[in-house]
Chain A
Amino acid sequence: MSRSPGRKQENHKISRELFVLTYGALVAQLCKEYEKDEDVNACLDRMGYSIGIRLIDDFLARSAVKKCRSYSETADMIAQVAFKMYLGVTPSVSCNSVTGNEFSLILDKNPLVDFVEELPAERASLCYCNLLCGVIRGALEMVHLAAEVSFLQDRLKGDAVTEIGITFLRKSEDRRHRRN
C-alpha cells in the first residue's frame, strides 16, 4: 500500500468522528421532535438499551475475557476494556459505597462531546450522553447483572469531569437458590 502509517491513524479517527457526528445529528433530531428534556433523555436511554443488548455479544466475541468474579472486576472491565475498545478512552473507576455495589466511572475526556461546545439554554437538563447509560445497562442485563446507570456529573453542565454512576442491584435470592 502506498499509504503512510499516519494515514491509517487518520482514517481511524475519521470513523470515530463519523460515529460522534451521527450521534450529534441524532440528538439534534430528537430535540426537534420532543419538547421536554426528560423525553429526549428517556428516548436516548431506550435506544442505548437496545444497542447495549446487542453490543455485549460483539464485545465478548472480540475481547474473549474471562468471567468476572465480583462487581468491582466488572466495573474495571467496563472501564478498561470496553470503553477503550469502543470509544478509545479509559475512565478511572472508584468505588462509592462500603457494600461494594456502587461504582463511578470518571471520564476526563468524553469523545461523544468532541464537537459540542455547550448545551443550549433551553435544554439545560438534557443528558447529552444518556445513550451511554442505556448501553451499559443493556449490556449488563444480558450478562444477568441488573444495574442502574446514570450520570452523576456532566462536563457539559459545568462540572469538572463527567462521572457515570453504576449501582449493581443485588439479587441475593437468586444466589441462594442456585446453591441449593
Chain B
Amino acid sequence: MADEALFLLLHSEMVAGCTAPAEQGEGENGRCTTKLESMGFRVGQGLIERFTKDTARFKDELDIMKFICKDFWTTVFKKQIDNLRTNHQGIYVLQDNKFRLLTQMSAGKQYLEHAPKYLAFTCGLIRGGLSNLGIKSIVTAEVSSMPACK
C-alpha cells in the first residue's frame, strides 16, 4: 500500500525532528519521547472514533484488547499482533515479532538504544485509542531484539 510508505517516512521525520534539537542530556531525550507520545495520543483518539463507528459495543476489557490486537493493528500496521498475554488483573502484553516501524532499522541488536523513540508514537496511539474507549491506561514498550517489540 502506497500510503504505508508515506506514513513510515512521515513518522521517521517526526522522530528526527524531535530529537535533532534535543541532543544534550537524558532530560531532553525524555521530553522528545513525551512529545511523540502526546502526538500519538491525539491521533489514537481520533482514529479509534472513526474506526469503531460501525462496530458493536465491546463486552469487556479483554474484548477491547482483542479488537486492538486484530482489527486495529491490522489496519494501522497491516498485520495482527503475534501474541497477547494477560494476568487477568489489568496487565496486558502485546507482542509483535515484526514491528513495521522497526523492520527497516535493523534485525538484531544494532541501534537498540534508538528504538524507544520509534515506539513512543505507537504507545501514544494505543493509549489514545483506549482512552476514547473508556479505559485509562499506561502504555510502555520494550524492545529486546529488533524488530520484535512488546
A residues sitting closer than 8 Å to B (CB atoms) are 11-12, 14-19, 21-26, 28-29, 43, 47, 50-51, 54-55, 58, 62, 85-86, 115
**Cβ–Cβ contact A15 & B4, under 8 A:** yes
Q: A18-B76, A21-B47, A29-B39 in contact; A12/B1 too (CB < 8 A)? A: yes
Q: How far is the CA of A23 from the CA of B47 in the complex (A)?
A: 13
Q: How far is the CA of A54 from the CA of B8 in the complex (A)?
A: 11
Q: Does B108 contact A (CB under 8 A)?
A: no
1/0 per residue B67-88: CB within 8 Å of A?
0000000111000000000000
Among the stretches B13-21, B56-64, B110-118, B137-145, the one at the interface with A is: B13-21
Chain A nearest CB from B118 CB (Å) reads 14
**Residues of chain A with a CB closer than 8 A to B6's CB:** 19, 51, 55, 86
Q: How far is the CA of A74 from the CA of B140 in the complex (A)?
A: 46
1/0 per residue B3-36: CB within 8 Å of A?
1111101110110110000000000000000010
Among B11, B38, B43, find the residue whose CB has the most chain A CB atoms closer than 10 A. B43
Interface size of B by CB at 8 A reads 28
Q: Which residue of A lies closest to B78 (CB)?
A: A15
**Cβ–Cβ contact A22 & B35, under 8 A:** no
**Cβ–Cβ contact B7 & A51, under 8 A:** no
Chain B nearest CB from A117 CB (Å) reads 14
Chain A nearest CB from B30 CB (Å) reads 16
**Cβ–Cβ contact B5 & A55, under 8 A:** yes
Q: Does B92 contact A (CB under 8 A)?
A: no
Chain A nearest CB from B35 CB (Å) reads 6
**Cβ–Cβ contact A23 & B10, under 8 A:** yes
**Cβ–Cβ contact A16 & B39, under 8 A:** no
Q: How far is the CA of A62 from the CA of B1 in the complex (A)?
A: 10
Q: How far is the CA of A51 from the CA of B51 in the complex (A)?
A: 27
**Cβ–Cβ contact B9 & A25, under 8 A:** no
